[in-house]
Structure 1
Amino acid sequence: MRFGVNLGLLHPAVWTDVAVAADELGYESVWLPEHLVLTTDMADSGYPGAADGRPPVPPETPLFDAPVFLASIAARTRHVLLGTYVYLFGLRHPLVAARAFGTLDWVSGGRAVVGVGAGWMAAEWRALELDFATRGARLDEAIEVAKRLWTEPVVGHRGRFYSFDKVVFEPKPISRPHPPLLAGGESAAALRRAVRLCDGWISMPHTLESARPQIERLRRMLDEAGRDPGPFQLTVSAFEAPPEQVAAFEELGVHRLIVRPARRSRQAVEQLAAFAGRYGVSPAPGQ
C-alpha cells in the first residue's frame, strides 16, 4: 500500500516541512487542495459530503496556486509524488492548465499527479463568468485537449468550449505518456470520467465500508469499457482508517490511501513519524 499525506488539513506554514519529512520517511505522495477563489455567496453550493450542505471552509481561507506551491516543494524533495486533491481543471483554458502541470512535472523530474474535479461551488464559476451547469462537459473537453498537448507534436482543436489553431506545445512532460490524471468525485458522471478519460480515480473521505460499493462500481465500469483494472489507480481518502484495515483496502484493489497522520500543525512532523511507525511506512530500497 502506498500512503499519501493531505497537506491541506494543516496550516500552510508547515506544508513544505511536512512534505520534506514525508519524503524522508517514505510516504509515496503529498496532496494539496485547490480553489481559484472563495466567495461570500456559497450558500447555494451544497458541498457534497456535508450533512447540512454548508461549505467546509470559510471564504477567508488562504488559497494558493497549487502547481506553483508543489513546484516549490519539488525543489526541497527527491522522491515524493506531488498531487492535487483536486484541481479545478475546467476553470482554466487547457493551454494554461496543461502548461502549469507540464512545468510541475518537468521541474520535479516526473513527479506530478493531476487530480482533477468538476467543482462544487457555483459561486466560484459565477465569479469567472462561466456557466456552472457546464462544468462537467468543460472539464471533459479540457482533459482531452491537455492529453493531446502533452503527447502530440502539433495540436489544433475545435470544440464546444475551446477552439484554437495549430500550436506546438513544448517541452513535453517527463512522465510518459503524460502525468497521471485522476478524476475526483463520487457522482456517476465523475466515475464515468475516471473510466473514460483518466488513469484513475480519487475519492472523497471514506471508511472501508463506504468505499467498497464505489470501488466495486468502478471495477464493473472498467470491465464494461474493456479497460485493464491493473494500471488504473484507485486512490481512497481514508483519514481515520486504522492500521488493521490496510490489508482490507489492498484486497479491494486500492493502490493508495490518502491519510491524515497529523492533527496539530506545530507537531506535524513528529506525528508524521509516529504514524509511519504504526502503519509500516518506510523508504523504498535505495531511497
Structure 2
Amino acid sequence: MRIGVTLGLLHPGMWRDFAVEADRIGFESLWVPEHLVFTSDIGQSRYPGSADGTPPVSLDAHLFDAPAFLSSIAEATERIRLGTYVYLFGLRHPIIGARAFGTLDVLSGGRAIAGVGAGWLAGEYEALGLDFRTRGRRLDESLRVAKRLWTEPEVDHSGEFYSFRGVHFEPKPVQRPHPPLVAGGESMAALRRAVRLCDGWVSMPHTLESVKPQLDRLTQLLDESGRDRAAFEITVSAFETRGPEELAEWEALGVDRLIVRPYRRTTGAIDALRTFAEQYGVNRD
C-alpha cells in the first residue's frame, strides 16, 4: 500500500518543512489542495464532500498556484511524488495547464501527479467568464488536448471550447507518456472521466464502509470499458483511519494508495506525521 499525505488544513507557511520531513521519512506522495479563487456567494454552491453541502473553507484562506508551489517543494525534496488534490484543469486554457504540470514534472525529475477535477464552486467559473454548466465538457476537452501536447511534436486542435494550429510544446514531461492523470469526483460523470481519460481515480474523504459504493461503480465501468485494472490507479483519501490493521482491508478493496491526514492542526503536525509513520510502518526504504 502506497501512503501519501495531504497538506490540507496546514498553514502554507509550513508546507515546505512538512514536505521535507514527509520525504525524509518515506511517504510515497504529497498532495496539495487547489482553488484559483473563492467568491462571496460560496454558500450557494453545494460542496460534495460534506453531508449538508457546507464548504469547509474560509473566504480569507490563502490560495496558491499549486504546480508552482510544488515546483518549489520539488527543489527541497528527493523522492516524494507531488500531486494536486485536485487541480481545476478546466478553469485554465489547456496549454496553460499542460505547461504547469510539464514544468513541475521536469523540475521534480518526473515526480508530478496531476490530480484533476471539474470543481463545485460556480462563482469560481463565473469570475473567469466561464459557464459553470459546461465545466465537465470543458475539462474533458482540456485533458485530451494536454495529453496531445505532452506526447506529440505538433498539435492542431479544433474543439467545442479551444481551437489552435501548429502548436509545438517543449520540453516534454520526464514521465512517459505523460504525468499520471487521476480524476477526482464522486459522480458517475467523474468516474466515467477517470476511466475514459485518466490513469486513475482519487476520492473525497472516505471510510472503509463509505467508499464501497464508489468502488463498485468504478469496477463496473472498468469492466465495461475493457481497461486493464492493473494499469488503473485507485487512490482513496482516508483521513480518519482507525489503525494500521486497516491497511489490509483497504488492499482487499483494490485500493492502491491512501492519502492520510495524521494531524488536526498546524501546531504539532510534524510530530503527528512522525508518529503516524512509526505506527503504520512508513519508512524510507
Name the TM tier (shorter chain).
over 0.9
Q: Distance in 2 between matches of 1:264 and 1:88?
A: 25
Amino acid corresponding to residue 128 of structure 1 in structure 2: L
- 2:60 alignment counterpart: 60
Q: Distance in 2 between matches of 1:228 and 1:206?
A: 25
Q: Give deviations 1:125-144, integer Å, cap 9, x for gaps.
A: 11001000000000000000
Q: Distance in 1 between matches of 2:58 and 2:266?
A: 19
Aligned-residue offset at 1:266: 2.5
- 2:245 alignment counterpart: 244
Aligned pairs for 1:31-180 (under 5 A) are 31-180=31-180
Structure 1 gap segments, 5+ residues each: none
Mean CA deviation greater in 197-206 or 266-275? 266-275
- 2:273 alignment counterpart: 272
Q: Give deviations 1:131-169, integer Å, cap 9, x for gaps.
A: 000000000000000000000011010000000011110
Aligned-residue offset at 1:52: 2.5
Q: Distance in 1 between matches of 2:281 and 2:124?
A: 40
- 2:227 alignment counterpart: 227
Report the 3-state secondary structure (helix = DSSP H, G, I; strand = E; otherwise coil) of the residue aligned with 1:214. helix
Give the TM-score normalised by structure 1.
Answer: 0.97
Contact 2:82 2:111 survives alignment (8 Å): yes
Aligned-residue offset at 1:24: 0.6
- 2:24 alignment counterpart: 24
Q: Distance in 1 between matches of 2:246 and 2:124?
A: 37
Amino acid corresponding to residue 137 of structure 2 in structure 1: A
Mean CA deviation greater in 253-262 or 100-109? 253-262
Aligned-residue offset at 1:49: 2.4
Mean CA deviation greater in 244-253 or 47-56? 47-56
Q: Give deviations 1:213-245, integer Å, cap 9, x for gaps.
A: 211211111111010001211000000112211
Mean CA deviation greater in 132-141 or 209-218? 209-218
- 1:258 alignment counterpart: 259
Report the 3-state secondary structure (helix = DSSP H, G, I; strand = E; otherwise coil) of the residue aligned with 1:196. helix
Give the TM-score normalised by structure 2.
Answer: 0.98
Amino acid corresponding to residue 187 of structure 1 in structure 2: S
Q: Distance in 2 between matches of 1:60 and 1:109?
A: 34
- 2:283 alignment counterpart: 282
- 2:215 alignment counterpart: 215
Q: Distance in 2 between matches of 1:175 and 1:283?
A: 22
Aligned pair count reads: 284
Structure 2 gap segments, 5+ residues each: none
Report the 3-state secondary structure (helix = DSSP H, G, I; strand = E; otherwise coil) of the residue aligned with 2:101. helix
- 2:186 alignment counterpart: 186
Report the 3-state secondary structure (helix = DSSP H, G, I; strand = E; otherwise coil) of the residue aligned with 1:113. strand
